Amino acid sequence: MQGLSIKPSTKLQLSSLLVAVATVMLVLLAGVAHGGGRRLVVSSSEDEPCKKMTVYYHDILYNGNNTGNATAAARTNGTFGLLVVFDNLVTEEQALSSELVARAQGFYFYDKEEDNAWFAFSLVFNSTAYRGTLNLIGPDLIAEKTRDLSVVGGTGDFFMARGVATLRTDSFEGLYYFRLQMDIKLYECYV
């Protein structure tokens, strides 16, 4: 009698185990479908980023008479604390007229004297090559030949990306235009 009473409960346990396994598999499948099946690739060496690109950032500051071309504007007075908000062009080559890669949307402010700024912005990609964002922050010690910003995250084609963007001042024309070369290296990519 005891043996008979055990069997149904074992069956019950087995069937609930099967339901549980099936549920886990469905959840996993749904997860794969939702994430597009991408997998995290973490670079194992500083010399081998999982993705890299070189692009050019153009800062065209509003000077009172260049409304048609300006993509950045100062929102405060003075040098210390000067805040510049921008929607700048980022191109493939040095020339402003070369192919648009992304828009750089964000701000910088001068947090020391003229040679020390702090950046926070998104590279917004919307082309056939890439769609999504990379988000960059960090100090820009302008007197240094190169400066590194952290790539702290991304979306779309750059889902959960992390890395470093090295800035180099490529051109500085008066108070109202400068161009930065940005070498972006990602060390965590979903591919």
Interface residues toward ligand NAG, by CB under 6 A: 63-66, 68-69, 75-77, 126
d(CA 184, CA 150): 10
Q: Which is nearer to ligand NAG, 2 or 65 (CB)?
A: 65
Q: Which is nearer to ligand NAG, 13 or 69 (CB)?
A: 69
Q: Considering the complex, what minimum distance in angstroms separates the CB of residue 159 from ligand NAG?
A: 17
d(CA 157, CA 36): 11
Q: Considering the complex, what minimum distance in angstroms separates the CB of residue 119 from ligand NAG?
A: 20
Q: Which is nearer to ligand NAG, 38 or 75 (CB)?
A: 75
The DSSP annotation for 45-56 comes to STT--SEEEEEE
Q: Which is nearer to ligand NAG, 48 or 93 (CB)?
A: 93
Q: Considering the complex, what minimum distance in angstroms separates the CB of residue 138 from ligand NAG?
A: 25
Within 13 A of 167's CA, how many CA atoms are on the CB side?
A: 25
d(CA 86, CA 105): 6
Under 8 Å between Cβ of 63 and 73: no
Q: Considering the complex, what minimum distance in angstroms separates the CB of residue 65 from ligand NAG?
A: 4
Q: Which is nearer to ligand NAG, 60 or 165 (CB)?
A: 60
The DSSP annotation for 149-176 comes to EEEEEEEETTTT-EEEEEEEEEEEETTT
Q: Considering the complex, what minimum distance in angstroms separates the CB of residue 20 from ligand NAG?
A: 43
